[in-house]
Amino acid sequence: MSPRYCVMFAGQSVQAQGMCRDLWRIPAARAILERLKPSLGDDLEHITTEMPDPELARTFNAQRAIHVHHLGHWHAYLARNPQTELNGAIGHSMGVVAALVAAGAMSVEDSGIFIRARAQAFSDVCKTFAEPQGMAAVITKNLREFKDRISSFPGVSLALHNTMGKGTIGGTLADIEAFAAHAKKEGWPMKVLVLKVEGPYHTAAFAPCRPALQAATEKLKISAPQVPVFMGTSGLAEFDPARIRSLLVEQADRLERHFDAVWAAYERGCRDFLEVAYKPQPVTWLADQLVGEDGKPLADARGVAVKTAELDEKVE
């Protein structure tokens, strides 16, 4: 009996030069990518096959490229594995839009409209910063033990909680550097690694995105998903179209609770997690997410990573 999968989609930072070069050669994927051109731009093939990393890292390019990557890979997989059944979908940060498509809550075309608006809104906010802002990965044993310390540090906010021990903080680069220095001085068992992004996504700095995102959601048809969509904005299984619409807007400046979303999936019976990608990411985090009281990964949780090259073969 084939497993029922909870499909996973990554967020911004997974972009890489050539990430869809082979994908465009797969008919099922190309058909989807062509459907996204009217909303995301005629340069989609260029940005996902040739654009250099520094330019691709810009918010407007990265978000469009990642969404194209998600839907192209997913539909190529479905073409090779039409018997695939889902019992859930999880999207890390912007990946939730692809998760909504996979769950049948949003069309490919509407997803492109929203991602275009999101990418533009996030990019526009980044251009308004009076001083350099960004994000840093925070790595420790148990991030929950440091949540209060992070929130009380001036100018820094916890933006994403990804796994038991990993998250991301956002703020001005000066404040992030000050936080890293303070953590080192206090002897906290923590690594702080600055990321190459244009701004502190999922913090109050991106509240100005909300009007543009609200206007974009009003153009979309969002249906009740056929399987639960586990959204990081709430950390819960979501079914109601009106609530999903609201969470898509709120996501801009709210903590991304991906860790909670994965646990919500597990608690609803998801055991087999699938990611199809150029370079799978969130599915590789499961061992630091679904952990028992003994500190060991739960034995009944399984992650399956499928890369582009495997889409030319039958994948069970």
Q: What is the CATH number of the domain that holds 183?
A: 3.30.70.250
Q: Which pLDDT band, with edges at 50, 70 and 90, does 179 fall under?
A: very high
The answer to whether 230 touches 264, Cβ cutoff 8 Å, is yes
DSSP H or E segment with residue 212: helix 210-217
What's the order of all strands across the beta sheet hosting 4-9? 236-238, 229-231, 85-91, 4-9, 272-277, 302-307
Question: Do 227 and 183 share a structural domain?
Answer: no
What is the C-alpha to C-alpha distance for residues 269 and 228, in angstroms, rounded to an integer? Answer: 11
Question: Do 249 and 107 share a structural domain?
Answer: yes
**Domain termination site, one of 167, 194, 221:** 194
Look at residue 123 and give its three-state secondary structure.
Answer: helix
Domain count, the chain: 2
Question: Do 229 and 289 share a structural domain?
Answer: yes
Question: Do 267 and 120 share a structural domain?
Answer: yes
**Domain termination site, one of 141, 161, 194:** 194
Could you list the beta-strand ranges (E) of 15-114: 85-91
> Which residues lie across from 40 on neighbouring strands?
none
pLDDT digits (tens, 9 = 90+) for 294-307: 989 999 999 999 99
pLDDT digits (tens, 9 = 90+) for 51-79: 999 999 999 999 999 999 999 999 999 99
Is pLDDT above 50 for 202?
yes
Question: Do 115 and 40 share a structural domain?
Answer: yes
Going by C-alpha positions, the residue among 136, 151, 141, 163 that lies closest to residue 256 is 163
Is pLDDT above 90 for 277?
yes
**Domain termination site, one of 155, 175, 194:** 194
What is the C-alpha to C-alpha distance for residues 235 and 233, in angstroms, rounded to an integer? Answer: 6
Going by C-alpha positions, the residue among 114, 110, 87 that lies closest to residue 273 is 87
Question: Do 183 and 92 share a structural domain?
Answer: no
Domain that holds residue 137: 133-194
Is pLDDT above 70 for 280?
yes
Q: Of 272 and 12, which is predicted with more confidence?
A: 272
What is the C-alpha to C-alpha distance for residues 251 and 234, in angstroms, rounded to an integer? Answer: 9
> Which residues lie across from 160 on neighbouring strands?
168, 256
Enter the DSSP assignment of 3: P
Question: Do 221 and 180 share a structural domain?
Answer: no
Which CATH number is 92's domain given? 3.40.366.10
The single-letter code of the amino acid at 89 is A
Question: Do 215 and 182 share a structural domain?
Answer: no
Question: Do 213 and 188 share a structural domain?
Answer: no
Is pLDDT above 70 for 235?
yes
pLDDT digits (tens, 9 = 90+) for 79-104: 999 999 999 999 999 999 999 999 99
The answer to whether 7 touches 74, Cβ cutoff 8 Å, is yes
The answer to whether 93 touches 14, Cβ cutoff 8 Å, is no
Q: What pTM was computed for the model?
A: 0.95
Is pLDDT above 90 for 1?
no
Question: Do 163 and 41 share a structural domain?
Answer: no
Q: Answer positive or negative: Cα dihedral of 252, 260, 231, 140.
A: positive
Question: Do 152 and 301 share a structural domain?
Answer: no
Question: Do 233 and 108 share a structural domain?
Answer: yes
Look at residue 51 and give its three-state secondary structure.
Answer: coil
Going by C-alpha positions, the residue among 68, 66, 89, 75 that lies closest to residue 29 is 75
